[in-house]
Amino acid sequence: MLNFLLRSVLLGLATAAVLLISVPSLRSHIIPAGTAETSNNIESLQISFNTAVRRAAPAVVNIYSRKYTESDRTKLSTQGLGSGVIVSDKGYIITNYHVVAQADQIIVALQDGRAAAAHLVGKDRRTDIAILRVEGTNLPVIPLNPNYDPKVGDVVLAIGNPYNLGQTTTFGIISATGRSSISADGRQAFIQTDAAINEGNSGGALVNTRGELVGINTASFQQATELETYGISFAIPFKLANKIMEKIIADGRVIRGYIGIDGQDISAMAERILGNEHLGGIEVMGVDPNGPAADAGFMEKDIILKIDGQKIHGRQSVMDLVTDLRPGTTIDVLVVRKGKQKTLTVTVGEDPRD
């Protein structure tokens, strides 16, 4: 029986071979044309972000924070290490507040070998942003795209000077946006990425595949346990960092508007009950008794719908709008109180927490 099966298999293979030799057109159905060429093309494919790195990397600088020694006030020693990003041909550099917070002298080293003492223009502890300035000609400036909107899944590169090893680039994606739970006051929205950000990377650049600045690398997630955490790092969005820089350049510090309320987004259930016109509103949960909102007559349970005629879209949009206002500005706020709409006029103060 076994011999019969073997003879049948061999006869079938021999018949197939004769057919392929005698009828060449059959071969194309078994071996697609261009297979060898396609194979060569696949082997030649190369995914590289070299162009993006070459565009961005020259503008990412090493920052050395120096401090006077306690034993000899005439001597400086390097106490901190970080990175920064040149964002203007006028020599403005964005870095992290914590990189330069305790510095008596700040040294900036460019990738072309130049080094110089930097002037601290200003710093903002709340957003962990500091602005430096260096003098120089032909300074490299990182590509900027104010219209770029970071999205989950975008490929990003983190460029900095980890552990003073020298400029290093790591690779990953944006894994989340709007991460506010790790900020000190729960108000700052970070970009989360799995690109490695280590000590020394702070203040460096997070860029997209075109080499455009996406954010300022600021922290990696650390648990208060013995477990190590990988792939969770955070960056300050460029739009926020740029806004802070403009405020610091204009005033030497960040001046934030303040009205003195605390609120929360109204629930989906409340929106359905109250109607679509309440979509995006926030419910006032607390009023600073000494703040402008109290003077204007705000009360707990008020639902804020519009500010100066502009419809709001949740708690974050209210904070962004109010903090951008100059103290002394008068605004009209449309609220709903016990089912009736009411307009309250409030004069914006300066945030006392800065």
Catalytically annotated residues: 98, 128, 202
Asked if 19 and 177 touch (Cβ cutoff 8 Å), the reply is no
Q: In the CATH scheme, what is the homologous superfamily, with its name and number, of domain 155-234?
A: Trypsin-like serine proteases (2.40.10.10)
Average pLDDT over the chain, rounded to an integer: 82
**pLDDT tens, 58-101?**
999 999 988 887 776 667 777 778 999 999 999 999 999 999 98
Paired tokens of 133: 């300035």
With bands split at pLDDT 50, 70 and 90, how would you rate the model's confidence at 346? Answer: very high
Report the amino acid identity of residue 285: M
CB 111 within 8 A of CB 167: yes
- DSSP character string of 135-158: --SS-------TT----TT-EEEE
Stretch among 37-41, 154-158, 350-354 having the lowest mean pLDDT: 37-41
The pLDDT value recorded for residue 267 is: 64
What beta strand segments (E) does 161-212 contain?
Answer: 168-179, 190-193, 205-207
Structure tokens at 342: 């009411």
Q: 338 or 214: which carries more pLDDT confidence?
A: 214
Residues 257-350: name the CATH superfamily.
Answer: PDZ domain (2.30.42.10)
Q: What is the DSSP letter of 126?
A: T
Q: How far apart are the first and last CA of the chain?
A: 93
Is the pTM for the entire model greater than 0.85? no
The Cα 141–Cα 143 span in angstroms is 6
Which band of pLDDT confidence, cut at 50, 70 and 90, is reported for residue 186? very low
Q: What is the pLDDT of residues 244-271, one digit of tens each?
A: 999 999 999 999 999 999 888 876 655 5
Q: What is the dihedral of CA 210, 216, 222, 227, to 10 degrees?
A: 10
How far apart are the C-alpha atoms of 191 and 172, rounded to whole Å?
Answer: 12
Q: Encoding tokens for residue 321?
A: 């709008």
Element (H, E) at 189: none
| In the chain, where the domains are located | 2-44, 155-234, 257-350
Of residues 236 and 318, which shows the higher confidence score? 236
Looking at the chain, the whole-number percentage of residues with pLDDT higher than 70 is: 76
Residue 32's pLDDT band (cuts 50, 70, 90): low
What share of the chain has pLDDT > 90, as a percent? 47
Contact 119, 132 (CB under 8 A): yes
